[in-house]
Structure 1
Amino acid sequence: MTVPSTPDGTGAQDGAGARDGADARQEKRPWPRQVLVPLALAQFVCSFAGSNMNVMIKDISKDLDTTVQGVQTTITLFLLVMAALMIPGGILTDRYGRKRCLVIGLAVYGVGTVLSAVAPGLGILILGNSIFQGVGTALLIPPVYILTTLVFTNVADRARAFGAIMAMGGIGAAAGPLIGGLITSAISWRAAFVFQALVVAVIIVLTRRIDDPVPPDPDRVFDTGGAVLSATGLVLLVMGILVADDNAWLMAGLLLAGGLTQLAFFRWVRAKERAGAQPLLRTELFRNRTSNLGLITQHTQWLMLMGVSFVVAAYLQVVRGYNAIDTGVIFSASTIGLLVSSLGASRFAKRREQRTLVMVGFATTICGIGLLLTSAHGSPSAWIFVPGLLLIGLGMGVMLTPSVNVVQSSFPEDQQGEISGLSRSVSNLGSSVGTAIAGTILVADPSAGPYAVALAVLGVIGLGGFGAAAMLPRTPPPTRHG
């Protein structure tokens, strides 16, 4: 990846005067580690939001007089809004500036957490959690990855930075049930949203240390038509999955409409390119085979993680009758596994190629799902779920970072806004689809049979991700320079 040696993007310069100027600008900027803390926390809180509600299913359903399907819809819509708006969010980041979009996104997200905390019914909860928090996340996540790419110019440092951010994201997703369960049992499910609001406030304060390395590009064209078509297509596709257990004809109609809308989006993009205009997403992003395979692995990873999280959490609460804290404690096994493998991610990356790490991660995660399948008709003890969840955490921790690094490193700096938005969109679409598919199978009949079917479907999808990882090109482990 080509990265300019000066913050203004002018490239390397000769002469003592130029070096002095670069040194002076570097002194004004915070150390990268100070930048990394708020960026990693931002990824943590967004991932936490996607999974912590899973342990609140019974509490929210009872308090708001709704159903398990109502809570599932709220979670899925939150993930879907993120996926649908992540690509436009990446473009807006380039146009208005990375730090500005980060702060605005955090503020919108914070408003959503407050609305969710005081929600009197399911409608306000969807408005706060699914809409406001989803829009806020779509605005703040692209800057996280773009700033990381721009600030950490050394290849080894950038790999470690992405590792820290992805580890915090994985920990947020894995620890969400435990933290959410503790807060729900000790106080209320509403307090979990207050917790998020407090974290967001801390992040906003910490962003004062961030200095945007590259100025915004106000002339960057925003393709409104493309954004509408892209978002509409994704929404229709996921909504089609959500209604699968209610009406087969409606499901077919939504899926067909979603597919046609996505086709119209790509035709729109091609027409824009032929006319010499700037589309929402350039088709050349999809001509990179390595990046395409990396995107498939990202999508599959988050589909499996969020799908398993919802299925197991719903099964434990609805079928086994566990409360929020019991469910959260059981899920701590996946958190421990992810922490252990994430701590060793940097060491693994120095010794093994990224392709190998992703393949090992998928294999381990699929084995974990296999162990969870045995719990459907096994011992009533909660401990039977621990080995499977531990393996899933270990597998996810091994492969999350390499997949992101494969994609981000496949493109130069001037395309980081687009590829970051696409990468995050694909990952969040995976989370949304995983929750929708697995949840729809289980909600139709919350018993041991559908629980096993949902996990089996996720395991088969994982095999597809393993196949994509196996096709990644072989590359030597990265070496540290400087």
Structure 2
Amino acid sequence: MTVPSTPEGAKARQEKRPWPRQVLAPLALAQFVCSFAGSNMTVMIQDISEDLDTTVQGVQTAITVFLLVMAALMIPGGILTDRYGRKRCLVIGLAVYGIGTVLSALAPGLGILILGNSILQGVGTALLIPPVYILTTLLFTNVADRARAFGAIMGMGGVGAAAGPLIGGLIASTISWRAAFVFQALVVALIIVLTRRLDDPLPPDPDRVFDTGGAVLSATGLILVVMGILAADDNAWLMGALLLVGALVLVAFFRWVRAKERAGAQPLLSTSLFRNRTSNLGLITQHTQWLMLMGVSFVVAAYLQVVRGYDAIGTGVIFSASTLGLLVSSLGAERFAKRREQRTLVMAGFAATICGIGVLLAMAHGEPSAWTFVPGLLLIGLGMGVMLTPSVNVVQSSFPEDQQGEISGLSRSVSNLGSSVGTALAGTILVADPAVGPYAVALGVLAFIGLGGFGAAAMLPRTPAPTRHG
């Protein structure tokens, strides 16, 4: 029997599942493997480009397209979870993702790698990630418990992103870069087994209308915008044209949404999602956080390999500093949520991350020792771990249960768009000439963007967003 979507029902669900490890384990691992996929290839750029007889920029394109597909399809993926059920979409997404990893491991050339890694893994991620955040929001109802749950999930996601270079480097150096995709396939198989004990707290809504036109417009607009950024180092006119057309398509999307609402139809997203000031600010911080994390990861990894001559495992070992910092601060998410306002935590995270980038810049001209990168990366990891969880909590807690599918899709789309833009932006500056000058410029741009995120965090309410239920 399904517990009704009421405050009493939510309380009953919380009492029945005080801390369901069988729920958190597959959800946290799902976020881990998707974040890992977005970062582990950064240390294998040279190996992959040589093995597949392509260029560094070709591999960068594969990485960016993977992140872009996630961002473009995350909103439709969130809507599909309402229509077909959260657990079903989670399992289907994992299956598609797993097929993509196997295809990537067997790829004979860049085209197949893009199909497996960028397309299939991207589509699978767009289906499986929204249920992770919807289930977490539905199962854990008070701020501290939800912070603890999101802390575990975001911690694993952050570790996946930060440890991706280390794990990927170890696997690539000791076996082959292809084995990194086999590793992902094994993790996906484990998650599918663990989901057998996962219950969906709400039934599917087969009457939920899927706005195909809105999905096409939103995805097309996002794709054109990021492709415009990618084109910056090749053709300024093409970049401008793509950005302009992309912006026009996104404007058309929002006009489409308003027209459907006026006609009484159900659009892909409700415009009410954008009327919540707290949520809007939280979305800006999420976008900026992932832009900085993935941007810094790409810049430092490319610089270490191309300029300093480190191999994949050496680069991964250096990145373990950020992994350690992120893990330590993420594990304290519940304790931080009880002692500090979410606004304060997000601001502190941005401040630490910007300082970490400053340390990396200050040491860019120093001796070519691995230790010179550790303090900056450690600070960045600590800062990211402090702010990832409260930013997600702010957004998810701003809406009732009946809008969790929409806001989860939007939230993950905004975050993954940040990852995609961060990689594209950093690659555009660095790939043409990854020397000290462009390295410093790329990090400087990321730090400047971080100041914008800090400003958005400063405008968040001084009290945590209230937890509301349908």
Q: Which of the five TM-score ranges fits, normalised by the shorter chain?
A: over 0.9
Give runs of aligned pairs for residues 402-441 of structure 1, distance below 5 A. Answer: 402-441=390-429
Give runs of aligned pairs for residues 103-114 of structure 1, distance below 5 A. Answer: 103-114=91-102
1:285 aligned to which of 273, 278, 288? 273
Q: Conserved in 2, the CA contact under 8 Å of 1:367 and 1:388? A: yes
Shift of 1:446: 1.5
Shift of 1:107: 0.1
Structure 2 regions of 5+ residues with no counterpart?
none
Shift of 1:34: 1.3
State yes or no: 1:60 paired with 2:48: yes
Shift of 1:154: 3.9
1:345-402 deviations in whole A, cap 9, x for unaligned? 2211111100000000000000000011123221111110110000000000000000
| Equivalent residue, structure 1, for 2:450 | 462
Shift of 1:343: 1.8
| Equivalent residue, structure 2, for 1:16 | none
- Aligned mates of 1:287, 1:12 — CA distance in 2: 27
Q: Which amino acid aligns with 2:330?
A: S
Shift of 1:152: 2.0
- Aligned mates of 2:219, 2:199 — CA distance in 1: 31
Q: Conserved in 2, the CA contact under 8 Å of 1:230 and 1:262? A: yes
Q: Which amino acid aligns with 1:9?
A: S
Q: Conserved in 2, the CA contact under 8 Å of 1:352 and 1:477? A: no
- Aligned mates of 2:64, 2:445 — CA distance in 1: 18
Give runs of aligned pairs for residues 361-400 of structure 1, distance below 5 A. Answer: 361-400=349-388
Q: Which amino acid aligns with 1:164?
A: A
1:404-441 deviations in whole A, cap 9, x for unaligned? 00000000111000000000000000000000001110
2:302 aligned to which of 314, 319, 343? 314
- Aligned mates of 2:465, 2:221 — CA distance in 1: 39
SS in 2 for 1:107: helix
The TM-score normalised by the length of structure 2 is 0.96
1:159-199 deviations in whole A, cap 9, x for unaligned? 21011101110010000000000000110000000000000
Give runs of aligned pairs for residues 43-442 of structure 1, distance below 5 A. Answer: 43-442=31-430
SS in 2 for 1:243: helix
Shift of 1:336: 0.6
Q: Conserved in 2, the CA contact under 8 Å of 1:69 and 1:443? A: yes
- Aligned mates of 2:164, 2:434 — CA distance in 1: 22
| Equivalent residue, structure 1, for 2:5 | 9
SS in 1 for 2:399: coil
- Aligned mates of 1:430, 1:410 — CA distance in 2: 21
1:189-210 deviations in whole A, cap 9, x for unaligned? 0000000000000000000011
Q: Which amino acid aligns with 1:140?
A: L
Residues 324/264 of structure 1: CA separation in 2 closer, same or farther (3 Å cut): same
SS in 2 for 1:411: coil
The TM-score normalised by the length of structure 1 is 0.94
Shift of 1:7: 2.5
SS in 1 for 2:431: helix
Q: Percent identity?
A: 87
Greater mean deviation of Cα atoms: 136-145 or 336-345: 336-345
Shift of 1:8: 3.7
Q: Which amino acid aligns with 1:326?
A: G
Structure 1 regions of 5+ residues with no counterpart?
14-18
Q: Which amino acid aligns with 1:224?
A: T
Give runs of ≥4 in structure 1 deviating > 4 Å. 476-479
Root mean square deviation, CA, Å: 1.9
Q: Which amino acid aligns with 2:427?
A: G
- Aligned mates of 1:114, 1:168 — CA distance in 2: 23
- Aligned mates of 2:233, 2:141 — CA distance in 1: 49
SS in 2 for 1:203: helix
- Aligned mates of 2:322, 2:90 — CA distance in 1: 29
Q: Which amino acid aligns with 1:12?
A: E
SS in 2 for 1:321: coil
- Aligned mates of 1:228, 1:9 — CA distance in 2: 31
